[in-house]
Amino acid sequence: MPKPQLLHFLHVLSFNVFAIAAVIATVTAATVTLQLKEAPQFYNSPDCPSITNIEDDPNGESSIFCSDQAVHVAVTLDSPYIRGSMAVTLSVLQHSSCPQNIVFHFVTSAATNVSFLHATISASFPYLNFQIYPFDDASVSRLISTSIRSALDCPLNYARSYLANLLPLCVTRVVYLDSDLILVDDIAKLAATPLGDNSVLAAPQYCNANFTSYFTTTFWSNPSLYLTFANRKPCYFNTGVMVMDLDRWRNGDYTTKIEEWMEIQKQMRIYELGSLPPFLLVFAGNIVPVDHRWNQHGLGGDNFRGLCRNLHPGPVSLLHWSGKGKPWARLDANRPCPLDALWAPYDLLQTPFVLDS
């Protein structure tokens, strides 16, 4: 065979080999499913308030989904983080004095198979009070700017800004939790945080952090931008744990305020960190501070290497693996950090993977 024809043949052959390998990988990925265990059932203590049964209409005023006596918890839910979301759920229930009075509001991408997620949650938590809310990625994708870590650019990371629109109007207060944390205390204590007369959010805040580092020199060199913090004493807070007054959010149209800052970011780069800075721009200095025990964050290391970290000094009610390193990924890779052992008991993974026949 002449050399040019031989080279062409080898090129076509290599292309077909890679194409076949890609097809096999795609088919394999489609048939690999996580097998999650069923969690124990948890019951209310005798002094818990009685709330209308879940069998009522989820959209009706008499339903537990609209009860002010229920603790409403919002968590995002997608395939890469489903183990994390299930661990959050288990930890909340296990440490609650009134677990039957907790309602979970799971937010997922509109492109996700909601029926599959519903079946997955129901299999692990047959008695759980929950609803799933599809989030239209397109509503925020046009506003997202690239950040320092690609995982931060996922549209679902921005769903916390739209909870007031997604959840029923009858839900007036919700505790938002990221999918990479566990609670070791009763969530009702956090949910009962007083928000005063005007505050929309409560969260642990960290006034010793270098607040200026969350924004670029472009921001701090433009008075029309940085004067947004005039008459405020802004401090950093982590948006992975928040108590939110949804009525006040709706009345103040805070989703629009956040989107306006994201529009500015598209025109001039004023920050680097995904969905956090718009929250800081709108709320920093105006939130109700919560004890730091409710967000021992940063256990996933920084946004680049995800190295192991120790707990901050003081008591602990919630451990948060914010940062690049996630405990399930490190455990699967047999490279866990010491504190990942605290997350492992809440992992409902039955076997690493099962390949459907």
User: pLDDT tens digit string along 270-295?
Assistant: 998 789 999 999 999 999 999 999 99
Choice among 43-52, 55-64, 146-155, 195-204 with the minimum mean pLDDT: 55-64
CB 138 within 8 A of CB 106: no
Contact partners, residue 177, CB within 8 Å, separation at least 6: 73, 74, 75, 88, 92, 183, 240, 241
Q: Is the pLDDT of residue 312 over 80?
A: yes
In this predicted structure, what is the pLDDT of residue 26? Answer: 35
Q: Is 327 a member of any domain?
A: yes
Whether residue 200 is contained in a domain is answered as: yes
How does pLDDT run across 262-271, given as a tens digit for each residue?
A: 999 999 999 9
- Structural domain includes residue 355: no
Let me know: does 43 contact 96? Beta carbons within 8 Å: no
Number of domains comprising the chain: 1
Distance between CA atoms of residues 132 and 166, nearest Å = 10
Highest mean pLDDT pick, 61-75, 131-145, 171-185:
171-185
pLDDT tens column, 339-353: 999 999 999 998 654
- 1: confidence class by pLDDT, cuts 50, 70, 90: low
> Is 187 within the bounds of a domain?
yes
CB contact at 8 A, 336 and 309: no
Question: What is the predicted pLDDT for the residue at 52?
Answer: 60
Q: Is the separation of the CB atoms in 139 and 109 below 8 Å? A: no
Neighbours of 283 (CB within 10 A): 22
Q: How far apart are CA 132 and CA 244, in angstroms?
A: 19
Confidence of residue 146 (pLDDT cuts 50, 70, 90): confident
Residue-level pLDDT at 131: 97
- Band of residue 148 on the pLDDT scale cut at 50, 70, 90: low
- pLDDT greater at residue 240 or residue 146: 240
Asked whether residue 256 carries a pLDDT value surpassing 90, the answer given is: yes
The pair of three-digit structure tokens given for residue 152, joined into one six-digit string: 């931060």
Tokens found for residue 88:
């959050």
Please report, for residues 105, 136, 220, 252, the alpha-carbon distance to residue 258 in angstroms, rounded to integers and kept in the order given.
22, 17, 18, 11
Cα–Cα distance measured from residue 72 to residue 131, given in angstroms and rounded to the nearest whole number: 11
Count other C-beta atoms under 10 Å from residue 248's C-beta.
18
44-95 per-position pLDDT tens digit: 999 999 886 544 455 544 589 999 999 999 999 988 889 999 999 999 999 9
Chain centre distance of CA 346: 17
Q: How many helices (H) and strands (E) does the chain have?
A: 13, 13
pLDDT at position 355:
44
Give me the pLDDT at residue 327, please: 95
Range of the domain at 84: 64-346
Residue 141 reports pLDDT greater than 60: yes
- Domain-located, residue 8: no
Instruction: Give yes or no for a contact between 142 and 40, defined as CB atoms under 8 angstroms apart.
Output: no
- 32 domain residue, yes or no: no
Give 240 or 154, the one with higher predicted confidence: 240
Neighbours of 90 (CB within 10 A): 22
Query: Looking at per-residue confidence, does 30 or 118 come out higher?
Result: 118
| Tokens encoding 297 | 């964050």
* Residue 105 predicted with pLDDT over 70: yes
81 backbone dihedrals φ, ψ, rounded to 5°: -110, 15
Question: Residue 12: what pLDDT?
Answer: 43
Task: Find the mean pLDDT for residues 130-134.
Answer: 97
| Residue 197 domain-assigned (yes or no) | yes
Residue environment code for 266-276, b if the CB has 16+ CB neighbours within 10 A, otherwise e: eeeebbbbbbb
Percent of the chain with pLDDT over 70: 84
CATH code where residue 68 lies: 3.90.550.10
Q: Which residue has the higher pLDDT, 319 or 137?
A: 319
Distance CA 162, CA 140 (A): 9
pLDDT of amino acid 27: 33
The three-state secondary structure class of 194 is coil
pTM for the whole structure: 0.86
Q: Tokens 């948060």 identify what position? A: 320
Q: How many CB atoms lie within 10 A of CB 347?
A: 19
Mean pLDDT of the chain, nearest integer: 87
In a domain, 56, yes or no: no
